[in-house]
A and B are shown apart, each in its own frame.
Chain A
């Protein structure tokens, strides 16, 4: 009975009796969720446009942030380091298209997926080679990101909002809006959607697949850089982030591989869910549940709705 009580009743009693703490947990989960959404967004961009499941998105986040901080450490001013890091991500996108994707056109999806695992290893090795393996501190103030916090006092308790987290949410929102605008109203955006819909039809009306892929990978690189900055500001820029970034995969499963709103909603659900579970239930089984909770949720979810919340219905033919 004690066990049943501590699973089904006690956590809710705690939530009600300490509402300020509950709000704080929700807020932290929300912020983590936004970051998961951002990584998942990078995956979705590439998956939509080329059908490639880009395993390297996580390491791209680390690589972009490391490149920027590394440049800054060389004495480049913060804003210039940001621009140069964007340039590096463009070079990466171009190189990936030219040397990995173009020779692999028409191969099975699984081969392409494995090639991105190979790319992951190249970026891990290359990143450690160039920038060193030790964690670096993100140049928060040089980029003009706010520090400090606001304290809100509801129900006689306190809830702390880090300004950095607020900025992360605002920037993420802005970027998603920008991407939505880019996809809907620009010429390249329309071309991207055409490619996502049907490769061959897109090629036959004169859209160059190669350039489109460079653009998509560059867009994913920009998303990676922004994610890296935000995440690096919250903790450090280290290669451990790459493992955390894998959590974007359950986010994708939850939201559907082809849906941008799905990536966002999925990220928020996972972010908030894992924080709540860890705080209120994790203690029962030894804690540290954040490493797997997202995956198990996605697994259970998959059994009931394999295409995700917003994904296209999976139709198979012989």
Chain B
């Protein structure tokens, strides 16, 4: 009925994974420790910094505020999977070209957070971009370049038109 160890079967980056996890294990720790998908980072561990951002069933979530046990049957995507699929190749290139990553710690979370906004189509305003990434800390404080990179990709995807 209730257990401190839980059997879970889920899809991670398109592959089926079956594991037994501690009930208290967070999703991001499961991804990093058990599956060695270390692209998702662990920062504050209480939902403030956004470094652990991953996708569950198509939408971004805090990997530190979900339990692995809750992901039985879920479809989880990490920055590794989204990278390999080529979905954010243009965003990654723009981050590199515009120096939108310095130490890189926040970058996986920033990319997935930005992609959720851009996926809806259109060219968001800089204010909307800033609001979207307001839950992701960059402790190098390189926000301006990050907004530039996201904006340039939005414009490019919209065919260079505003």
A and B from one complex: no
- Chain B residues within 8 Å of A, Cβ to Cβ: none
- Chain A residues within 8 Å of B, Cβ to Cβ: none
